[in-house]
Amino acid sequence: MKKLLSGNEGIALGAYEAGVKVVTGYPGTPSTEITETLSKYKDIYTEWSVNEKVALEVAAGAALGGSRTLVTMKHVGVNVAADPLFTMSYIGVKGGLVIVSADDPQSHSSQNEQDNRHYARAAKLPMFEPSDSEDARQLTRLAFEVSEKFDTPVFLRPTTRICHSYSVVDVNGNERKEVDCGKFERNLSKHVMIPAYARARHFDVEDRMAKLKEFAETTSVNTTEINDTEIGFITSGISYNYVKEMAPNASVLKLGMIYPLPENKIKDFCSKIKKVYVVEELEPFFEEQIKVMGCDVEGKKFFPITGELSPDNVAELLYGKKELLPAEKILARPPALCPGCPHSFVYNVLKKHNILVSGDIGCYTLGVMPPFQVIDTCIDMGASITAAQGLEIADPSIKHAAVIGDSTFAHSGITGLINAAYNKRNTLVIVLDNSITAMTGMQHNPFSGETIRGEQAVQVNYQYLAKAVGIEDDNFMEVNAYKPDEIESAIVKLSDSGKLSLLVVKGICVIYNRKKNKKKEGV
């Protein structure tokens, strides 16, 4: 049977078929639906982890314990997980460990458009990149095999346009293959990375890289199509489709394995084709390596480093600029807090009292948009609480507050709160709790009291937490998001106290509430 699947569903299907046993991750567009899809299979353990570092560490343990394990995150999540990532490269695996880094060229839903192919090179890990949903499924299965064969974590790097595009997958025979990878085996010099053991393991990593380079030369996912020998393209992922669409007669070297590169295959291709272009989104990652191989190719001279590519970029290279109907100037529809969001009241109060607001990632970043324009900084997950401390140190004469959502607070806000208490800072920390991780499409977290499957779970208690880190009783308050007067008096009182304070504003996400009620009514 043929089914229309998104790239994320393709990855989930491939992981299921590969016999994945453990799946961890932190929600992040465009990766979220992979773990959500896998959570529907009862025979697979899935969790929303507290953050990406935790997700990768749980996954590392599961893989060392012999389970095939998938861990999912968006590109910036890999920054959070980078600490275990680099050392897991030295340690290796027992059950296959596949790390999905869903990159977001064009920053559709992210704070930057970093190119995570660099992580593969930096951490010395193999990386695969799918070009459609079937490819995503196949490469996920292959990634588990490569992980076990070469004793290495493996990266799978889809981009937004793959994650959220749909293509036809023939799901006939999608049987799950259970793989027995054995159990954890004690091996101190491999699993305990003290300097002496790490130095020795580095040699193993270099040996592995050499073997992976050989594998890259022979794997069937790096394919050469020789057609017109006048012009050829080296490409991967979504860009492959743009090339095939616009240059159907050109020769193409498609890379399914994007690190390490198949040097001989590339040199061979370049020797047969008169003019070779490298088509890749974001950084000249292939282009620079291929130029070092001594091949005469062109890439970023014709294609932008910023943003996504499109079929138009390839068309322009081949046929020149196309004459288009002029773009119309019409009113913008910028993203905004949802109509009826209970947390808009807080922004009005912060604006009125002229408080410097350090913001965070998630829905509440939208406080930067009109009519509020009340967020002064947004850096990364958890940085509201910590950047506010730095801003306060730099200028204690003005009023400061940090604004953060519940999931982000659990992700990496709590550590910052402890830092504030320990270092005698006097910031007002405001958690806007809407009972869910909303921006990524309603995922549970440690403050929502349910697991990924909707089972009841521990719900972290804000008041005990405040007490435990050392916030005085009078400096903890919890108010109802629908009561602007109470919010205002709380902000004024806590801000004037000049002491570290935690204010929790509670108001359930309106969209989540609607969903929940619909479920109750059985609609």
Interface residue list for other proteins (CB under 8 A): 2, 4, 29-30, 108-109, 132, 160-161, 164-168, 238, 240-242, 244-246, 310-312, 315, 322-328, 330-339, 363, 366, 370-371, 439-441
User: In angstroms, what is the minimal distance from the CB of 162 to other proteins?
Assistant: 9
User: In angstroms, what is the minimal distance from the CB of 466 to other proteins?
Assistant: 30
User: In angstroms, what is the minimal distance from the CB of 166 to other proteins?
Assistant: 4
Q: Which two tokens stand for residue 482?
A: 């629908």
DSSP state string for 387-444: HHHHHHHH-TTS-EEEEEEHHHIIIIIHHHHHHHHHTT--PEEEEEE-SSBTTTT-B-
323-346 burial string, b = 16+ CB within 10 Å, else e?
Answer: eeeeeeeeeeeeeebeeebbbbbb
Residue (159 or 358) nearer to other proteins, CB: 159
Residue (314 or 430) nearer to other proteins, CB: 314
Residue (165 or 224) nearer to other proteins, CB: 165
User: In angstroms, what is the minimal distance from the CB of 335 to other proteins?
Assistant: 4
Q: What angle do CA 499, 503, 506 make, to 5 degrees?
A: 180
Residue (182 or 339) nearer to other proteins, CB: 339
Residue (39 or 89) nearer to other proteins, CB: 39
Q: How far apart are CA 10 and CA 30, in angstroms?
A: 14
User: In angstroms, what is the minimal distance from the CB of 470 to other proteins?
Assistant: 35
Residue (113 or 132) nearer to other proteins, CB: 132
Residue (31 or 495) nearer to other proteins, CB: 31
User: In angstroms, what is the minimal distance from the CB of 384 to other proteins?
Assistant: 17
Residue (201 or 244) nearer to other proteins, CB: 244
Q: Which two tokens stand for residue 18?
A: 């590969």
Which of 409, 406, 410 has its CA nearest to residue 385? 409
Three-state secondary-structure class, residue 22: strand
Q: Which two tokens stand for residue 190?
A: 């491999």
How far does Cα 418 stand from its chain's mean position? 26
User: In angstroms, what is the minimal distance from the CB of 333 to other proteins?
Assistant: 5
Identify the helix (H) or strand (E) that includes residue 124: none
Q: How far apart are CA 476 and CA 490, in angstroms?
A: 10
Q: Which residues contact 321 (CB under 8 A, 6 or more apart)?
A: none
Q: How far apart are CA 229 and CA 248, in angstroms?
A: 13
User: In angstroms, what is the minimal distance from the CB of 315 to other proteins?
Assistant: 6
CB 100 within 8 A of CB 158: yes
Residue (378 or 452) nearer to other proteins, CB: 378
User: In angstroms, what is the minimal distance from the CB of 181 to other proteins?
Assistant: 34
**Rg of the Cα trace of the chain?**
25
Q: How far apart are CA 379 and CA 384, in angstroms?
A: 8
